[in-house]
Structure 1
Amino acid sequence: MKKLLVLFLLPLWSFSQTSHQTLELLLAQKKYAKAEQLASPFVANNPNDLKAIEILGDAYSYQEKWDEAIKQYKKLVVLKPEVANFHYKYGGALGMKALSVNKLSALTYLGDLKEAFLTAAKLDKNHIETRWALVELYMQLPAIVGGSKGTSLKYANELEQLSKVDGYLAKGYIYEYDNEPELAETYYKKAITIGGSITCYNKLTEFYEKQNQPEKAIKNIESAQGRLQRNALHYQLGKVSAEYNMQLAKGEACLKTYIKDYSPEDGVPIAWANYRLAQIYKHQNNKSLALKYIDLALKELPEIKVFQDERLTILKL
């Protein structure tokens, strides 16, 4: 409330001098609420400033304020209907709103959602993100409201023409979703061969985990590590080891390496590595070490329920 009062008391010229660069910097720094506070009055005073409207919509989106984001992106679509990315962002916000409500209410967003993505795809033959959205949309929709594997594959083929890696990943997703694991595995492997990025490897690892094939998951992670040398992969291997109670010595070593070499860019907080170590020591019936590491995890993130539950389980050893 105090921050809002300060904003109202600031002279109007301070908003008129707010630059797009300043607002974009706030988004880059993940200061989404601050970006919203500055962009909102700026847009009110400059209702045709497309960039400011887009930034405000993005600020709302990052905060999952979907109604407000939809309103801003809708302005962009009306003001500049020939820009594909505006339709894509509008469709994306509609999609996220649909996911946040019950299934019956979600249907009310479906028409505008499909129209936004289809318009974006028509306006820009090279818009990769839109085609990804259409691949997922048509796979997830029930057939009764237009869902279609064939249509999804159509957009996957378009993706493949733009980017073989994206096309292969899209087809892997489609066949995985459609419960055709052999084809899914084939296309995820093709993506790795062509692209070899961490994303490609992660998709295959996640696939193996869902298929309850931890040996293959670990082998894939080790292959990725040999090629990419990422500390985050140490955590991934330790996670699989801990979850499936296998290759525990290897998992323990990887998790300790992850903790030793940790940087924020690795993504997963150290608390989760300590939690996985606690799981490994629990599997080994080493109660004292298991308690040591679960307590380290809880010290960093005391509110995580799975940590709390794990500690109770360890105490029963």
Structure 2
Amino acid sequence: MRYLILLLFFSNVLLGQSPKEKAAQCITEKAYIKAEKLMLDYVKNHQTDKEAIELLGDSYGYQKKWDNAIEQYRKLKDIDDSNANYHYKYGGALGMKAQQVSTLKALTLIGDIKEAFLKAAALDAKHIDARWALVELYISLPGIVGGSTKKSLKYANELEKLSKVDGYLAKGYVYEYDNQPKLAEKYYKLAVKVGGSLNCYEKLSNLYEAYNEPDKAIATIEASQDKHNRNALHYQLGKVSADYNIQLDKGEQCLLQYIKHYTAADGVPLEWAYYRLAQIYKHKNNTKKALNFIDKALSLRADFKQALKEKRVISTK
């Protein structure tokens, strides 16, 4: 009887949810099409409900329906021009659209993107995401259309005042993009020291990989593993080992650990771990084991192009 009462209680709670609450829950559960349908019907009869319009825009955004998302976020900023987040989301949707259209079309969107992010930053002196967007925008744009390392660093400095770790990561990003690895390393190391998140360590290890310093990348991944103890880091270390043909025993052991403790939450599919092990055994001139693991990778995904190519290479050894 007690369980029946609880079941009825929770059923009533769910039935009592408003359409907006249901849509928000759907977005949390990644049921974006269902959230879209709920809010489309709701917004028809509540055309100035900002929360509903934002939920509809978000449901479009998660589905990468950028024109639809832009339309909803434009409505929001027209209804409430003083809301920084509405301008930020509008600029973000425009920016994502710009990545999917021709260069000529993208150039026509730059002014509106910049204006939206600048307005968001001006309206909210503590809006971290808007400042990150400006850092990335100014460093990536060509100078002829307003790109500027100086402007990018200006917003990185503003980020540093709000959050030291964000500021250091932003400066590392700018200097890495600007092909100044020593300065990028300096700020990523500061981010690791101050923040120490997985993301901080990953930025630093990726920098070392990008500039062909795999031993430093491995040391950074090991430091991250010591602090965070994540199985996914076993794969990352094995990947560097396989890619650069270094510290092969360590890479082998890490990949075996990754496979042993693998869950879907680790992110990288299991076939990639088998593929990396095959590479390591190829480097060790152990053709039998290399073929064994490449076949395991292909048993999980028969159209795994990299594994098929690697099998041909291994078979000729």
Fold match (TM-score > 0.5): yes
Aligned equivalents of 1:314, 1:63: Cα separation in 2: 40
Aligned equivalents of 1:221, 1:180: Cα separation in 2: 22
| Aligned position for 1:13 | none
Aligned equivalents of 2:124, 2:75: Cα separation in 1: 20
| Aligned position for 2:125 | 125
Is 1:110 the counterpart of 2:110? The answer is yes
Aligned equivalents of 1:49, 1:85: Cα separation in 2: 16
Q: Aligned to 1:100, what secondary structure does the other structure show?
A: coil
Aligned equivalents of 1:300, 1:54: Cα separation in 2: 40
Residue type matched to 1:53 in 2?
A: I
Write the deviation string for residues 86-135 of structure 1: whole angstroms up to 9, x where unpaired: 11111011001101112111011111100100000001100101100000
Moved more, 163-172 or 292-301: 292-301
Pairing 1:271-310 to 2, within 5 Å after superposition: 271-310=271-310
Pairing 1:211-226 to 2, within 5 Å after superposition: 211-226=211-226
Residue type matched to 1:260 in 2?
A: K
Aligned equivalents of 2:24, 2:291: Cα separation in 1: 45
| Aligned position for 1:3 | none
Write the deviation string for residues 129-148 of structure 1: whole angstroms up to 9, x where unpaired: 11000001000111111111
CA contact (8 A) 1:23 1:38 kept: yes
| Aligned position for 1:58 | 58
| Aligned position for 1:254 | 254
What TM-score results when the alignment is normalised by the length of structure 1?
0.91
Residue type matched to 2:228 in 1?
A: L
What TM-score results when the alignment is normalised by the length of structure 2?
0.91
Residue type matched to 2:297 in 1?
A: A
Q: Aligned to 1:47, what secondary structure does the other structure show?
A: coil
Pairing 1:1-317 to 2, within 5 Å after superposition: 19-317=19-317
| Aligned position for 1:11 | none
Aligned equivalents of 2:284, 2:180: Cα separation in 1: 36
| Aligned position for 1:5 | none
CA contact (8 A) 2:57 2:68 kept: yes
Aligned equivalents of 1:231, 1:55: Cα separation in 2: 35
Residue type matched to 1:51 in 2?
A: E
Residue type matched to 2:80 in 1?
A: K
CA contact (8 A) 1:231 1:258 kept: yes
Aligned equivalents of 1:20, 1:152: Cα separation in 2: 38
In the TM superposition, structure 1's runs of 4+ consecutive aligned residues that sit over 6 Å from their partners are none
Over 3 Å counting, the alpha-carbon distance change for 1:284 and 1:55 in structure 2 is: same
Write the deviation string for residues 239-295 of structure 1: whole angstroms up to 9, x where unpaired: 100111111111110011111112222221212111111211222232232222222
Unaligned runs of 5+ in 2: 1-16
Over 3 Å counting, the alpha-carbon distance change for 1:302 and 1:71 in structure 2 is: farther
Aligned equivalents of 1:94, 1:271: Cα separation in 2: 36
Unaligned runs of 5+ in 1: 1-16
Aligned equivalents of 1:32, 1:300: Cα separation in 2: 29
Moved more, 94-103 or 307-316: 307-316
Aligned equivalents of 1:54, 1:214: Cα separation in 2: 44
Report the count of equivalent residues: 302
Aligned equivalents of 2:306, 2:249: Cα separation in 1: 23
Q: Aligned to 1:154, what secondary structure does the other structure show?
A: helix
RMSD, aligned CA: 1.6
Write the deviation string for residues 170-193 of structure 1: whole angstroms up to 9, x where unpaired: 001111111111111000000001
Residue type matched to 2:168 in 1?
A: Y
Residue type matched to 2:183 in 1?
A: L
Residue 18 of structure 1: how far off its partner (Å): 5.0
Identity %: 59
| Aligned position for 2:3 | none
Over 3 Å counting, the alpha-carbon distance change for 1:257 and 1:145 in structure 2 is: same
Aligned equivalents of 2:200, 2:166: Cα separation in 1: 9
